[in-house]
Structure 1
């Protein structure tokens, strides 16, 4: 086996372990490259079928191409797609684009709180209707006890502190020092009642691994990742007001793989175009301790 095959097999094993150990399991899908690779691995793990809901947190400020891609793939692959949203904050214009709060406060409301409420079932959930292509209110409010996430250790500092199976307490907070040790591919999957566990099958993958796998498997990705003729593309995707493109002429997956191999971005953080990271002191640790993805 080559290295890509090794990490692919390990990730599929972790996904199957999660499915066998958590009754109410979901997978977060941000629509970005990492979580789309995760979705591809889940389809491989279960022979083309994803046997649990995909959860997307819609801030209402995602770049339009992202939402178009999400809905197209959900219909094409018959995904059990659910989205949640902080409708109260949006209705009251408690957002950074409305000029009423900071970027960090906006992320806390539109991402962290929306995620917590969606996972716990206290917030409204919308589920795709494959007959109409629209989203209907989902009457299932059962809390998710296991959540599969496309986090990579090399992407950002606080994520390097994660475990493959990482518990969040009843308040959804991340207690870094309380994480269980993981040796020799042995994972702790039993935790106290009220805990939900985040599962990270991509923890060992690098940005280059992700793109090499996309290249090998021919995985469809959002067009925003590629230069459309202006010498710019997105390296990391998020909300439109807080996400900047990078200078790059990479027009396809092959170009991106070659660009990463040259080390062009070796001294530039992958999320350097995400403004909220800078406002959080150059990382996401304070946001993530409260439940951010």
Structure 2
């Protein structure tokens, strides 16, 4: 097997292990390249069918093309698609784009708190009705105890501290110092009642691995990752007001791979254009301790 085959096999093993061990499982789908690769792997793991719901946290500030891509694939692949959001903060304009809170507080509200309360069922969930193509309030408010996440260890410092099966407490808070060891592909999956577990099938993948896998498998991703003729493209996707495109002429997956291998981004951090990553201190790690993806 080549390098990508080994990564694929390990990720599929982790996905199947998670499905066998957790009764109420979901997968977070941010619509970015990593979580779309993870979704592709799930479809491979379960022979074209994804046997758990896809959850998206919609901040209401996503680039419109991302939402269009989400719903297009949800319909095409018949995904059990759910989204949640912090409706109260949005109604009160307590967001960074409205100028009423800083980056960190905006992320805490629209992402971390929205994620916690969508997963535990305290806030509304909206589920796609495949007959109408519209989203409706979901009657199911049962908490998701296991959540599959597309985090990679090489993205930034806090993600490198994760485990494949990473426990959180009943409030979704993460104690970095209290995580189970994972040696020789042996994973701890039996946790105390009330524990919320994040599962990370892509932990060993790099940005280049992701793109080479997209290239090999011909995975459909949102075209924001490619130059549309303006000499710019997105390298990492998030909320529109807080995510800047990079200068790049890469118009397709082959050119993106070449940029990462030998070009201008070979030694440049992937999340360099994400505003919350530029704040001083341990801002992003604190957000992740509090539930941020």
Matched residue, 2:152:
152
State the alpha-carbon separation in 1 of the partners of residues 82 and 6 from structure 2.
Answer: 31
Displacement of 1:161: 0.4
Residue correspondence of structure 1 range 31-110 to structure 2 within 5 A: 31-110=31-110
**Measured at CA, do residues 287 and 280 of structure 1 come closer, stay the same or move farther in structure 2, by a change above 3 Å?**
farther
Summarize deviations over 1:209-260 as a string: whole Å, max 9, x none: 0000000000000010000111110000000000000111000000001111
State the alpha-carbon separation in 2 of the partners of residues 292 and 14 from structure 1.
Answer: 22
State the alpha-carbon separation in 2 of the partners of residues 96 and 80 from structure 1.
Answer: 31
Q: Is residue 273 from structure 1 mapped to residue 273 from structure 2 by the alignment?
A: yes
Q: Is residue 238 from structure 1 mapped to residue 242 from structure 2 by the alignment?
A: no
Q: Is the 8 A contact 1:28 1:35 kept in 2?
A: yes
State the alpha-carbon separation in 2 of the partners of residues 253 and 206 from structure 1.
Answer: 16
Name the TM-score, length of structure 1 as normaliser: 0.99
Residue correspondence of structure 1 range 102-251 to structure 2 within 5 A: 102-251=102-251
Summarize deviations over 1:84-131 as a string: whole Å, max 9, x none: 000000001110111111011000000000000000010100000111
Displacement of 1:266: 3.3
User: Cα RMSD (Å) of the superposition?
Assistant: 0.9
Q: Is the 8 A contact 1:158 1:283 kept in 2?
A: no
Which ranges of structure 2 fall in alignment gaps of 5 or more residues? Answer: none
Which ranges of structure 1 fall in alignment gaps of 5 or more residues? Answer: none
State the alpha-carbon separation in 1 of the partners of residues 282 and 129 from structure 2.
Answer: 40
The more displaced of 109-118 and 274-283 is 274-283
Displacement of 1:267: 3.1
Displacement of 1:268: 1.9
Q: Is the 8 A contact 1:157 1:283 kept in 2?
A: no
Matched residue, 2:253:
253
Summarize deviations over 1:56-110 as a string: whole Å, max 9, x none: 0000000000000000000010000000000000001110111111011000000
Displacement of 1:269: 1.3
Q: Is the 8 A contact 1:158 1:285 kept in 2?
A: yes
Secondary structure at the aligned position of 1:272 is classed as helix
Q: Is the 8 A contact 2:104 2:283 kept in 1?
A: no
The more displaced of 135-144 and 274-283 is 274-283
Displacement of 1:194: 0.9
State the alpha-carbon separation in 2 of the partners of residues 199 and 8 from structure 1.
Answer: 15
Matched residue, 2:18:
18
Matched length: 293
